[in-house]
Structure 1
Amino acid sequence: MVKEMSMEGEHQMVKDYKDPPPAPLLGVEELRRWALYRALIAEFIATLLFLYVTIATVIGYKRQSQADRCNGVGLLGVAWSFGGMIFVLVYCTAGISGGHINPAVTFGLFLARKVSLIRAVLYMVAQCLGAICGAGLVKAFMKHSYNSLGGGASEVAPGYSKGSALGAEIIGTFILVYTVFSATDPKRKARDSHVPVLGPLPIGFSVFMVHLATIPITGTSINPARSFGPAVIYNQHKAWRDQWIFWVGPMLGAAAAAAYHQYVLRAHVVKALTSFRSNSHN
């Protein structure tokens, strides 16, 4: 008896976190709550700011390097702009909307039952609208350079096949969404809650690292809204030609990351089977 109490106390000491219940599948009741609309505004503004800063950086780099390839921020600076803005914006909006700023992240969290279907769809709409407005601001402020230097649109780089580009987007998004799941895991949050930047920092850093690897292949999207906004504003054939890659790739990568984290690392299937077997024996 004493041994059982000791083991129970040890178990309670070790598990200092609580897994939240799964989100409702549809979440119709959320439509009556102001918190949902506040979150949608946060996602819209965050994605707008993300596109404005990052696409302006891309256009500015291309303009500065036209005369001198060594001039401007370079590819390293472009990667930092994407990763740095994600870090800043996730830090600012995580407590309001979760700081998704990416339809692929939202899709992965929906598959893991972290958000409802209605919230996920509305988030994606807000993110795409924010991306369009952010790219529109860049065009408004840098019209000539925007039109002449590609509009920040995502496309497969010369010398690479569509299959290579798709694979790069899948793996890149897997890294991002896997990092999101790990950084927001209840087990980790219980231990790191006293350091608020430990969630946004690895997420932003993962975006930075993926950009270093895949800018030469696709310019790096790993975010359908990032590709959709410039495509709408630039509105040229090359902006739409490869658009499907920047939706299919990130969504597949997000689905794979959700499955890996939930069913392999967190072993939800094994836990469910174990619970079922113990209940059947009782």
Structure 2
Amino acid sequence: MAKDIEAAADYTDPPPAPLIDAEELTKWSLYRAVIAEFVATLLFLYITVATVIGYKHQSDPDVSATDAACSGVGILGIAWAFGGMIFILVYCTAGVSGGHINPAVTFGLFLARKVSLVRAVLYIIAQSLGAICGVGLVKGFQSAYYVRYGGGANELSDGYSKGTGLAAEIIGTFVLVYTVFSATDPKRNARDSHVPVLAPLPIGFAVFMVHLATIPITGTGINPARSLGAAVIYNKEKAWDDHVSDALLASCSPLLHSI
């Protein structure tokens, strides 16, 4: 207890990131981080959307009885694919870019003054381009099944209103970004230094749990880059009509976290 009090007393909040840091543009570390975000988001979309397409093909009773009997990985497996990839990629890129891999996370951290506007904008551009390229790879490798099984795009399921889909995305995005803030809180690390915390683990589990709840409703977005990349490559009217951009919803998380 005494060590906890001493650690909390010695802790001081780091200064907020500057809104616009022109000097940051001259540093290789920024561009290395942007490249890391691009590659990580590309890999994230490639693995997860390929998993979705593979599951729909294996569970399609019109393909063949053998494949249909296998039923693929199921919704549980898809949720594990999304959560597991986030765990892996955040672990790999945390020391380079902070492991955002999601414009909602980047926007939330920008509002909390954890990253500068310059870095936030470059991250979001890299994430969006990476997502588009990742889904493009899936379409190229699985051209026979991509369009037939919806391209992994987020679409509102039958029986749900757009209001319900929006509410599901609001709650899901909030859970994810709030978990990111909690898992990476430097004050907690200083106070609970005797308890090892692997930040990518709770973040990956948050993604996994949200997908279990939201896949039946919207297919689960909670990541504007993921939704945008699939919608751009699939490019069908319903996918665009049901597209929910949830980046602004991340503003709720840093606000609550600061209370």
TM-score (norm 2): 0.92
Q: Match for 2:40 among 25, 36, 46?
A: 46
Cα RMSD of the aligned pairs, angstroms, is 1.9
Question: Helix, strand or coil: the match of 1:230?
Answer: helix
Contact 2:82 2:208 (8 Å CA) reproduced: yes
Deviation per residue, 1:201-222 (Å, 9 max, x gap): 0000000000000101100010
Cα separation, 2, equivalents of 1:138 and 1:193: 43
Which amino acid in the other structure matches residue 156 of structure 1? L
Q: Counterpart of 2:129?
A: 129
Cα separation, 2, equivalents of 1:69 and 1:127: 37
Where do 1:3-152 residues align within 5 Å?
Answer: 12-67=6-61, 68=68, 71-152=71-152
Which amino acid in the other structure matches residue 166 of structure 1? L
Rate the CA distance shift 1:156–1:11 in 2: closer, same or farther, 3 A. same
Contact 1:83 1:205 (8 Å CA) reproduced: yes
Contact 1:43 1:100 (8 Å CA) reproduced: yes
Number of residue equivalences: 251
Question: Helix, strand or coil: the match of 1:144?
Answer: coil
Cα separation, 2, equivalents of 1:81 and 1:14: 37
Tell which structure's C-alpha radius of gyration is larger.
1
Q: Counterpart of 1:251?
A: 247
Contact 2:107 2:248 (8 Å CA) reproduced: no
Question: Helix, strand or coil: the match of 2:152?
Answer: coil
Indicate the larger mover: 23-32 or 218-227.
23-32
Rate the CA distance shift 1:28–1:238 in 2: closer, same or farther, 3 A. same
1:159 aligns with 2:159: yes
Which amino acid in the other structure matches residue 53 of structure 2? I
Rate the CA distance shift 1:28–1:240 in 2: closer, same or farther, 3 A. same
Structure having the larger proportion of residues in helix: 1
Contact 1:170 1:252 (8 Å CA) reproduced: no
Where do 1:184-199 residues align within 5 Å?
Answer: 184-190=184-190, 191-192=192-193, 195=196, 198-199=198-199
Contact 2:8 2:187 (8 Å CA) reproduced: no
